[in-house]
Amino acid sequence: MLKDKTVLVTGAAKGIGKAIAIAFAKEGCNIILNYRSTVSDKLVAEIKNYGVNCLTIQGDVSNFEKAKEIVEESIETFGYIDILVNNAGITKDGLFMRMSEQDFDAVLNTNLKGSFNITRHTINHMIKKRCGAIINISSIVGVMGNAGQANYAASKAGVIGMTKSVAREVASRGITCNAIAPGFIETDMTAVLKEDIVKQMIAQIPMKKLGQAEDVAETAVFLAKSKYITGQVIHVNGGMAMY
Ligand code: NDP
């Protein structure tokens, strides 16, 4: 169903983005891996092994002009972006009363504005073709809040608001726009958490384990295949919160 579609995944060098890129490659999609610092030849080879094309594009999604270049290079190479996954994200945790303006701006600029930047440059192409799927990676924290993550929660709640608004604007043009709100997923982002915090987290999860990047990736593939789901937030959290 997704064979020969082109997928742009931001922040795709590792973690959830990498798993999403591999999952779409398995479906026969051509993959554009956006990365900020480095991307391994091994990942590119793994993706090409599925018989698909793979283009890597370096670029910081928080930069509006850079985001334009990422989208333009993708379209010049493949002619089109069928599926966009806004995955790039960072944390800069700290209690609100001590949070610096720099840490607030940095998180908002990558997580929320980065998604705006890439989507803004992609949307007109999708509207012209009258089809497309946009998948934004939000977080359970954007819905529940989390002490020490006011900046991150604000950015991820913003992503949900943007997702629903874009969904309403472009639904009649055949474009879906959904968000995935993962719970606690085992990646470098959560590897920094102390053991006792992880234990506390697991105690709150009915499934009694952290999620895997692949759990999020299979949801992204599901959403890309879904024709009549738009403006939704799909929770992938082992039952940690139920809406
Ligand atoms: P990782 O830290 O493992 O990966 C994040 C990726 O994003 C890295 O490859 C990073 O590149 C890239 N990135 C960061 N900033 C930018 C930028 N400005 N431009 C381009 N790429 C960038 O995190 P995860 O895989 O865990 O997270 C992926 C997404 O899932 C994020 O949006 C995160 O908020 C979200 N999420 C994660 C959860 C979890 O429990 N892990 C839970 C809920 C949501 P580099 O290393 O070069 O900086």
Q: Across the chain, what does the average pLDDT equal?
A: 98
Catalytic: which of 35, 50, 80, 152? 152
CB 20 within 8 A of CB 43: no
pTM of the predicted model as reported, rounded to 2 decimal places: 0.98
Ligand 1 center to residue 53 CA distance, Å? Answer: 23
Q: Are strands 54-58 and 30-35 parallel, antiparallel or unpaired?
A: parallel
Nearest-atom number in ligand 1 for the CA of 12 is 9
**Which of 32, 90, 162 is the best mutation target for the ligand 1 pocket, counting ligand atoms within 8 Å of the beta carbon and taking the most?**
90
Mean pLDDT across 110-131: 98
Query: Across the beta sheet with 83-86, what order do the strands follow?
Result: 54-58, 30-35, 6-9, 83-86, 132-137, 175-182, 233-236
Ligand 1 center to residue 172 CA distance, Å? Answer: 31
Q: What is the pLDDT of residues 67-88, one digit of tens each?
A: 999 999 999 999 999 999 999 9
Q: What is the pLDDT of residues 121-172, one digit of tens each?
A: 999 999 999 999 999 999 999 999 999 999 999 999 999 999 999 999 999 9
pLDDT of residue 91: 97
Ligand 1 center to residue 236 CA distance, Å? Answer: 16
Res. 232 pLDDT band, cuts 50 70 90: very high
Q: Which residue lies with its CA nearest to atom 33 of ligand 1? A: 89
Is 152 known to be catalytic? yes
Burial of 144 (0-12, 13-18, 19+ CB in 10 A): middle
Res. 105 pLDDT band, cuts 50 70 90: very high
